[in-house]
Amino acid sequence: MTAQASLDQEQTETMTVREAIRLALREELRRDEDVYIMGEDVGLFGGVLEVTGDLFEEFGEERVRDTPIAEAGFMGAATGAAATGTRPVVELMFSDFMGVSMEQIMNQMAKMRYMFGGKTEMPVTVRTTEGGGMGAASQHSGTVHAWIAHFPGLKAVAPGTPASAKGLTKAAIRSNDPVFVFENKMIYEQQGEVPTDPDFTVPIGEAAVERDGEDVTVVATQRLVGESLETAESLAGDVDVEVIDPRSLYPLDTDTIVESVKKTGRLVVADESPLSYGIHAEIATRAMENAFFSLDAPIQRVGTPDTHMPFSPPLEQEVLPNGEDVREAVERIA
Amino acid sequence: MADYTIDTADGRLEALRRMLTIREFDTTAGEYFADGEIPGFVHLYIGEEAVGVGACAALEPDDYIASTHRGHGHCIAKGLDPKLMMAELFGKADGYCNGKGGSMHIADVDAGMLGANGIVGAGPPMATGAALTIDYQDRDQVALGFLGDGAVAQGQVHEAINMASTWDLPAIFLVENNQYGEATPVDKQHNADNLSDTAQAYDIPGVTVDGMDVTAVAEAVEEARKRARAGDGPTLIEAETYRYRGHYEGDEQPYRDEAEIERWKQQDAIESFKGRLVDRGELTEDEFEELQADVEATIADAVEYAQEADLPAPEEAYDDMFGEPVPEIEQFAARPRTDGGNRGGDSR
**Residue A74 belongs to a domain with what CATH number?**
3.40.50.970
In this complex, do A77 and B163 lie within 8 Å of one another by their Cβ atoms?
yes
Check residue B234 and give its pLDDT: 98
Chain A residues closer than 8 Å to B137 by CB? 34, 85-86
A152 lies in the same domain as A219:
no
B196 lies in the same domain as B342:
no
**Nearest neighbour of B156 by CB, restricted to A62, A73, A117:** A73
B71 lies in the same domain as B143:
yes
A22 lies in the same domain as A98:
yes
B338 lies in the same domain as B279:
no
Residue of B nearest to A287 (CA): B348
A87 lies within 8 A of chain B by CB: no
Chain A closest CA to B156's CA: distance in Å?
Answer: 6
B272 lies in the same domain as B254:
yes
**Domain boundary residue, one of A195, A229, A256:** A195
A73 lies in the same domain as A117:
yes
Please indicate, yes or no, if residue A200 is contained in any of the structural domains. no
Task: Based on the residue annotation, tell me whether A145 is a catalytic residue of this protein.
Answer: no
**Nearest neighbour of B319 by CB, restricted to A80, A118, A176:** A118
Please indicate, yes or no, if residue A57 is contained in any of the structural domains. yes
B101 lies within 8 A of chain A by CB: yes
B222 lies in the same domain as B328:
no
Please indicate, yes or no, if residue B51 is contained in any of the structural domains. yes
Please indicate, yes or no, if residue A186 is contained in any of the structural domains. yes
Reported as type and span, the H/E element at residue B65 is: strand B64-66
- For A204-241, give one letter per residue: b (16+ CB within 10 A) or e: bbbbbbbbebebbbbbbbbbbbbbbbebbeebeeebbb
pLDDT at residue B311 tops 90: yes
Please indicate, yes or no, if residue B28 is contained in any of the structural domains. yes
B140 lies in the same domain as B88:
yes
pLDDT at residue B137 tops 80: yes
Chain A closest CA to B135's CA: distance in Å?
Answer: 10
Chain B residues closer than 8 Å to A104 by CB? 122, 125, 156
A52 lies in the same domain as A164:
yes
Please indicate, yes or no, if residue B24 is contained in any of the structural domains. yes
pTM of the predicted structure, to 2 decimals: 0.95
Q: How confident is the model at residue B3 (pLDDT cuts 50, 70, 90)?
A: confident
Measured distance CA(A191)–CA(A13) in Å, rounded:
10
Please indicate, yes or no, if residue B158 is contained in any of the structural domains. yes
Q: Taking a C-beta distance cutoff of 8 angstroms, is the pair A261, A292 a contact? A: no
Q: How many domains does chain A have?
A: 2
- For A71-105, give one letter per residue: b (16+ CB within 10 A) or e: bbbbbbbbbbbbbbbbbbbbbbbbbbbbebbbbbb
**Nearest neighbour of B322 by CB, restricted to A34, A72, A177:** A177
Structural domain containing residue B273: 9-312
In this complex, do B97 and A115 lie within 8 Å of one another by their Cβ atoms?
yes
A78 lies within 8 A of chain B by CB: yes
In this complex, do A117 and B99 lie within 8 Å of one another by their Cβ atoms?
yes
A36 lies in the same domain as A65:
yes
Chain A residues closer than 8 Å to B94 by CB? none
Q: How many domains does chain B have?
A: 2
| CB proximity list for A66: less than 8 A, separation 6 or greater | A38, A39, A40, A41, A42, A43, A44, A45
Q: What is the DSSP letter of B277?
A: H
Measured distance CA(B170)–CA(B143) in Å, rounded:
7
Please indicate, yes or no, if residue B262 is contained in any of the structural domains. yes
A90 lies within 8 A of chain B by CB: no
Question: Which residues 33-72 in chain B show a CB within 8 A of chain A?
Answer: 64, 66
A29 lies in the same domain as A62:
yes
Predicted complex ipTM: 0.94
Q: Could you count the other beta carbons within 10 Å of the beta carbon of residue B40?
A: 11
Measured distance CA(B20)–CA(A159) in Å, rounded:
56
**Domain boundary residue, one of A136, A169, A195:** A195
Model confidence pLDDT, tens digit, residues B15-24 = 999 999 999 9
B326 lies in the same domain as B306:
no
Q: How confident is the model at residue B345 (pLDDT cuts 50, 70, 90)?
A: very low
B181 lies in the same domain as B324:
no
Model confidence pLDDT, tens digit, residues B51-73 = 999 999 999 999 999 999 999 99
Q: How confident is the model at residue B105 (pLDDT cuts 50, 70, 90)?
A: very high
Reported as type and span, the H/E element at residue B85 is: helix B82-89
B258 three-class SS: helix
Check residue A114 and give its pLDDT: 98
**Domain boundary residue, one of A195, A217, A248:** A195
A323 lies in the same domain as A248:
yes
A103 lies in the same domain as A158:
yes
Q: Taking a C-beta distance cutoff of 8 angstroms, is the pair A91, A56 a contact? A: no
Please indicate, yes or no, if residue A42 is contained in any of the structural domains. yes
Please indicate, yes or no, if residue A201 is contained in any of the structural domains. no
Please indicate, yes or no, if residue A289 is contained in any of the structural domains. yes
Please indicate, yes or no, if residue B2 is contained in any of the structural domains. no
Please indicate, yes or no, if residue B3 is contained in any of the structural domains. no
**Nearest neighbour of A76 by CB, restricted to B95, B160, B319:** B160
In this complex, do A175 and B134 lie within 8 Å of one another by their Cβ atoms?
no
Q: What are phi and psi of A15, to 5 degrees?
A: -155, 170
B251 lies in the same domain as B340:
no
B309 three-class SS: coil
Measured distance CA(B298)–CA(B296) in Å, rounded:
5
Q: Taking a C-beta distance cutoff of 8 angstroms, is the pair A222, A160 a contact? A: yes
In this complex, do A77 and B323 lie within 8 Å of one another by their Cβ atoms?
no
Check residue B45 and give its pLDDT: 97
**Nearest neighbour of A77 by CB, restricted to B115, B128, B158:** B128
Please say whether the dihedral angle defined by the alpha carbons of residues B331, A287, A150 and B41, taken in this order, is positive or negative.
positive
In this complex, do B156 and A76 lie within 8 Å of one another by their Cβ atoms?
yes
**What CATH number does residue B298 fall under?**
3.40.50.970
pLDDT at residue A4 tops 80: no
Q: What is the DSSP letter of B312?
A: P
Model confidence pLDDT, tens digit, residues B140-166 = 999 999 999 999 999 999 999 999 999
A35 lies in the same domain as A180:
yes
A182 lies within 8 A of chain B by CB: no
In this complex, do B122 and A76 lie within 8 Å of one another by their Cβ atoms?
yes
Q: SS3 string of chain A? A: CCHHHHHHCCCEEEEEHHHHHHHHHHHHHHHCCCEEEEECCCCCCCCCCCCCCCHHHHHHHHHEEECCCCHHHHHHHHHHHHHCCCEEEEEECCHHHHHHHHHHHHHHHCCHHHHCCCCCCCCCEEEEEECCCCCCCCCCCCCCHHHHHHCCCCEEECCCCHHHHHHHHHHHHHCCCCEEEEEEHHHCCCEEEEECCCCCCCCCCCCEEEECCCCEEEEECCHHHHHHHHHHHHHCCCCCEEEEECCEEECCCHHHHHHHHHHHCCEEEEEEEECCCCHHHHHHHHHHHHHHHHCCCCCEEEEECCCCCCCCHHHHHHHCCCHHHHHHHHHHHC
B188 lies in the same domain as B326:
no
A137 lies in the same domain as A214:
no
B300 lies in the same domain as B319:
no
Measured distance CA(B72)–CA(B44) in Å, rounded:
7
**What CATH number does residue A221 fall under?**
3.40.50.920
A172 lies in the same domain as A234:
no
pLDDT at residue B169 tops 80: yes
In this complex, do A155 and B326 lie within 8 Å of one another by their Cβ atoms?
yes
In this complex, do A72 and B125 lie within 8 Å of one another by their Cβ atoms?
yes
Check residue A8 and give its pLDDT: 53
Measured distance CA(B16)–CA(B11) in Å, rounded:
9
A222 lies in the same domain as A301:
yes
B272 lies in the same domain as B193:
yes
Average pLDDT over residues B253-264: 94
Structural domain containing residue A260: 208-333
From the list B155, B153, B179, the residue with the least C-alpha distance to B243 is: B179
Check residue B176 and give its pLDDT: 98
Please indicate, yes or no, if residue B121 is contained in any of the structural domains. yes
Average model confidence (pLDDT) for chain B? Answer: 94
